[in-house]
Structure 1
Amino acid sequence: MPGAEAEADVLIVGGGPVGLTARALLERWGVRVLLVEKHRELSPFPRSRLVNVRSMEIYRQLGLAARIAARAFAPEYGRIRFRDTLHDQDFATAAMVGVNAPVPESPVIGVVTSQDRLEPTLLAAADAQTRFGAELVGLAEEDDGVVASLVDHEHGGRTRVRARYVLAADGANSAVRQLLGIDTTGPGAMGDFTTVVFHADLNRWCARQPAGVYFTAHGSFAPLYPEGGWAWFGPTPDDAAGADWPALVARALGPGAEARAEVVRVQHWVMNAFVAERFRHGRILLAGDAAHAVPIIGGLGMNAGLSDVHNLCWKLAGVLRGWAEPRLVETYETERQPVAHETLRQAVANAHLLFQVQKRRRDQLQSGQAASDQIELPWSERYFAQLGFVLGVTYRSGAVLADDTAPPEPSERGTDYFPTAEPGHRMPHLWLARTRSTLDAFGEWFTLLTPDPTRWAPRTPTPWPLRVEPLPAEHTGLCGLGPRGALLIRPDGHIGARWPEHPPSEAALHDALSAVTCPALP
């Protein structure tokens, strides 16, 4: 491209967890990546607090799970507590399933950690070029690529970058989405909120009853790091410019708390709730909050964005490396947009239920009821058992070859997760060896799991990256396989095809890989 100062296979716009994870995934595939972030450094704010069990599986695949867990809170912090003020007793509590303790459905456990603790680990996980202080201000599409115009806030001036694809992970106020004129659907802004980061000694009320977040009638508290630090967040007051933040925090701490809050920084933000009408515009793709911004209650937003790029990056790599047709990238929107709408519904429901609890408790206290009086919650502890939304995601597209054994999918997933090896589902975690999971067999390749590897091994090299793995006989029943059956697992860990019995022909595997990577148009 004449006049372009730099080139990349994929230009990633946005240096948050979603963009940084995409950078690491694409680098594993050997894709040339340039990531640009308009801010001059990683965000100093804690922001997202939860890395759920599915996201930790992705980071296990990248070799990062142990590193992330080492800097996170202990599992007992995987709990929420409801109090009138921080120094009062709980009037309700609930565990975060898959975070507060291991679950048999996964080889990993989710963690409570702050985004500003996670991002440096992700940045160090890849060597791909990254430019901070570079803001995208224009996009021009061509037949075989996209030209991006950038403003350099560090040195001044503009540069142009030509990329085969652009991945927009630039947040709820995405400049890319706005430049493309992509509209959104959903409730929209659900309120203005403020996060106050502060130092205080709160061990007296929290050390023996740890939690990832304490919801109170006057805002919520979250411990930031195992070694110390706190955040309070709540509705932004009308006079935010003149607000006495230490006083507001003290009110939420409660009378007689005798803890002084040393305010470090304050950030105002909007709780958004929407899904983009399109996730793709030609060679430009939206991911994370740029594609779907959901309320923070339940910790679903960032994690959904991580699954976005886990779904997308192998498809981009396949097209760029020549073993997949460009229309494979179109299945990204087909597969992930329904998940985004379902995630939005759940997160909005979470937020409304939380607001109900807080309002009901404030009304009780204003009517003179004692702080020790119990409040009837609009949910049970089961409400927080969201493994169905985390591990039960199912894809339906041309990149999944459905078989005749799969029952009709429910319109919405419940909180329960039921492991299944039906096409489109995440391959269940099963132990292949003492410390090796089926999930450890997946990576920058397709995986064929079968109790009869000899019969299924390709006789000649294939254009696709492929590994054949033996499946222990004790797992064939759960997988719906006979002694000569097989599962074809996509690089994102979702099942692309299943043969319950023997291969129907010598070309069965070849034909399936061809169909998954060159899907028919709907």
Structure 2
Amino acid sequence: MPVADAEVDVVIVGGGPVGLTARALLERWGVRTLLVEKHRELSPFPRSRLVNARSMEIFRQLGVDAEIAAGSFAPKFGRVRFRDTLYDSDFATAAMVGVNAPIPESPVIGVVTSQDRLEPTLLAAVDGEMRFGVELVDLAEEPESVTAVLLDHRRGEETRVRARYVLAADGANSTIRRRLGIETDGPGAMAGFTTVVFDADLGRWCAEQPAGVYFTAHGAIAPLYPEGGWAWLGPTPDDTGTPDTDWPQLVSRALGPVPGVRADVLRVQHWTMNAFVAERLRHGRILLAGDAAHAIPVFGGMGMNTGVADAHNLCWKLAGVLHRWAGPGVLDTYEAERLPVAHLTLRQAVDNTRLAISVQSRRREQLQAGEVMASDRVELPWAERYFAQLGLVFGVAYRSDAVLSDAVLSDGDCSDGDAAPEPSDVGADYVPTAEPGHRMPHLWLTPGRSTLDTFGEWFTLLTADPTPWEQQSAAPWPLRIERLTDGHRDVWGLPPYGALLIRPDGHVGARWHDRPPNGHTLRDALGAITRTTYPS
């Protein structure tokens, strides 16, 4: 066994939003982490532009949602517009449901913001160690740990860190995924794209019709920050890399004949839009999350948000194993729960990406041929439901051994989670439900306090009749019991003596329709969910 220079609980590889979220969640659980990022600083490029309502709920749990919202665009920017050029009028528009206005399904709304605005907030959320300019170059798995070989590019030095687990959040081109030989499913590289960050005085042309992104026939135009800054995003031109590439002219084509406006190009980044899902998310003590696990095309803004949900699902399970109130088998439920969601999200994103690229291309060809098409005859560059994603954001249910179905509990046997089929295409509609496996619905318990605010670094039991549950021991599991009023209980169809056991990630782990049938009901359920047992 190689000698380690340091030891931690979890090494996180990759300092994007997913790695930073995992770091914050684990540190709040009291898990010692080391996050390494091969670049010397956080990315200066805007990258992801949308934080959906589910991610904001997770950031609310971390206490940073208000700060994120304060640096984001106003809700009226939660809309997309489709035009021939920025200068032209809309011929199609759609609101981003859950972003453009408050919704009854959540205590928060999503925001339009840039990744380079989000990441510093997540970095400052906790004091866990982070090393920039440090790359993981080798891994050695052992029965009880993983030794990571880290190269500090600034110092030219290698160090070895022993960790109980490694979380790979190192992007679509994940070095760790490739080193482990984990294959991927999906279309793969769909197209080469370029992001051009530029300054221009466009406020007066967009103030009356704000949007998070303007799709044009010559690429997308997006405002970056409330105080200014813009980005152009589109297919990489064939002549890219030659000295003759005229980026200001390329951007100007998308802007159109805006009088007196010139694009001052600041930065240019080329990237590949990938579309795939890893065949598996776990290799022993190494787990994949975010783009390393699934590369989701940017159209619709689901990629980063899917990764944040990965971290939320995984981190309480890692904490339980490390603190010994969960068995190692609970980590198998991470893949069982998140892999179907990744496939579902990828299918929707790929379909809409292909449609958007196709429609933009045809529109550009029509304009070049001098054809003018009436707005009511223009094919929209997205499926009708694409920007009404609450079903996908809130409605996906987990089916794994970490969810106890009503049928299992009625048999009085918590030994098997009775896994159900993978989730189907949930589409746009979201119907709140407290069925096991689903995200617990939001409901205001008191002014300003949601049911979601009762969840955290613990399990939560929601019931209108706490007494019989309080008499049961839940040790060693962290548990809080929350009293419900009859009105709250009726909303979810919960009988007077029933109870809901909520996992730390806010998903319903178990549901009882009556008082606990015996003195160890709660311990049996917690043990089954966490894949461990303790003497009653």
Q: What TM-score do the two structures reach when normalised by structure 2?
A: 0.94
Q: 2:427 aligns with which of 397, 414, 423?
A: 414
C-alpha distance in 1 between matches for 2:297 and 2:422: 26
Q: Which residue does 1:507 correspond to in 2?
A: 520
Correspondence 1:57-456 to 2 at 5 A: 57-242=57-242, 243-370=245-372, 373-374=375-376, 375-377=378-380, 381-404=384-407, 411-456=424-469
C-alpha distance in 1 between matches for 2:471 and 2:35: 38
Call closer, same or farther: CA 1:409–1:5 in 2, change over 3 Å.
Answer: closer
Call closer, same or farther: CA 1:78–1:55 in 2, change over 3 Å.
Answer: same
SS in 1 for 2:148: strand
Call closer, same or farther: CA 1:373–1:425 in 2, change over 3 Å.
Answer: closer
Moved more, 242-251 or 218-227: 242-251
* Structure 2 counterpart of 1:311, one-letter code: N
Displacement of 1:361 in angstroms is 1.8
Correspondence 1:8-47 to 2 at 5 A: 8-47=8-47
Call closer, same or farther: CA 1:85–1:483 in 2, change over 3 Å.
Answer: same
**Contact kept in structure 1, 2:472 and 2:522, CA below 8 Å:** no
* Structure 1 counterpart of 2:442, one-letter code: H
Displacement of 1:461 in angstroms is 5.4
C-alpha distance in 1 between matches for 2:285 and 2:329: 11
Displacement of 1:251 in angstroms is 1.1
**Contact kept in structure 2, 1:480 and 1:500, CA below 8 Å:** no
Call closer, same or farther: CA 1:343–1:465 in 2, change over 3 Å.
Answer: same
* Structure 1 counterpart of 2:24, one-letter code: A
Displacement of 1:381 in angstroms is 4.8
C-alpha distance in 2 between matches for 1:379 and 1:171: 26
Moved more, 510-519 or 367-376: 367-376
SS in 2 for 1:241: coil
Q: Which residue does 1:516 correspond to in 2?
A: 529
* Structure 1 counterpart of 2:187, one-letter code: P
SS in 2 for 1:166: strand
**Contact kept in structure 1, 2:9 and 2:33, CA below 8 Å:** yes
C-alpha distance in 1 between matches for 2:64 and 2:375: 45
SS in 2 for 1:272: strand
**Contact kept in structure 1, 2:218 and 2:234, CA below 8 Å:** yes
Displacement of 1:373 in angstroms is 4.5
Moved more, 125-134 or 460-469: 460-469
**Contact kept in structure 2, 1:421 and 1:478, CA below 8 Å:** no
Across the two proteins, how many residue pairs are aligned to each other? Answer: 520
SS in 2 for 1:240: coil
**Contact kept in structure 2, 1:82 and 1:91, CA below 8 Å:** yes
Q: Does residue 1:477 correspond to 2:479, yes or no?
A: no
Moved more, 501-510 or 441-450: 501-510
**Contact kept in structure 2, 1:450 and 1:469, CA below 8 Å:** yes
Moved more, 70-79 or 376-385: 376-385
C-alpha distance in 1 between matches for 2:450 and 2:472: 27
C-alpha distance in 1 between matches for 2:178 and 2:422: 34
C-alpha distance in 2 between matches for 1:460 and 1:99: 42
Q: Deviations over 1:87-140 (max 9, x none)?
A: 111110000000000110000000000000000000000101100000011000
Call closer, same or farther: CA 1:93–1:373 in 2, change over 3 Å.
Answer: closer
SS in 2 for 1:337: helix
* Structure 1 counterpart of 2:389, one-letter code: Q
Q: Which residue does 1:51 correspond to in 2?
A: 51
Moved more, 322-331 or 476-485: 476-485
Q: What TM-score do the two structures reach when normalised by structure 1?
A: 0.97
* Structure 1 counterpart of 2:520, one-letter code: A
C-alpha distance in 1 between matches for 2:482 and 2:29: 20
Call closer, same or farther: CA 1:41–1:185 in 2, change over 3 Å.
Answer: same
Call closer, same or farther: CA 1:438–1:143 in 2, change over 3 Å.
Answer: same
Displacement of 1:477 in angstroms is 2.7
Displacement of 1:409 in angstroms is 7.5
Residue segments in structure 1 that go unaligned for 5+ positions in a row: none
C-alpha distance in 2 between matches for 1:24 and 1:184: 28
Q: Deviations over 1:320-372 (max 9, x none)?
A: 00100011111100110000000100110121221232123223323423376
**Contact kept in structure 2, 1:95 and 1:381, CA below 8 Å:** no
SS in 1 for 2:47: coil
Identity %: 72
Displacement of 1:472 in angstroms is 1.7
SS in 1 for 2:446: coil
C-alpha distance in 1 between matches for 2:339 and 2:473: 37
**Contact kept in structure 2, 1:78 and 1:100, CA below 8 Å:** yes
SS in 1 for 2:348: helix
Call closer, same or farther: CA 1:301–1:465 in 2, change over 3 Å.
Answer: same
Moved more, 483-492 or 241-250: 241-250
C-alpha distance in 2 between matches for 1:488 and 1:227: 44
**Contact kept in structure 2, 1:314 and 1:491, CA below 8 Å:** yes
C-alpha distance in 1 between matches for 2:474 and 2:388: 45
SS in 2 for 1:103: coil
Q: 2:509 aligns with which of 489, 496, 500?
A: 496
Displacement of 1:380 in angstroms is 6.4
C-alpha distance in 2 between matches for 1:174 and 1:408: 29
C-alpha distance in 2 between matches for 1:437 and 1:359: 46
C-alpha distance in 2 between matches for 1:325 and 1:275: 27
Displacement of 1:410 in angstroms is 5.8
SS in 1 for 2:35: strand
SS in 1 for 2:351: helix
Displacement of 1:2 in angstroms is 4.9
Call closer, same or farther: CA 1:451–1:373 in 2, change over 3 Å.
Answer: closer
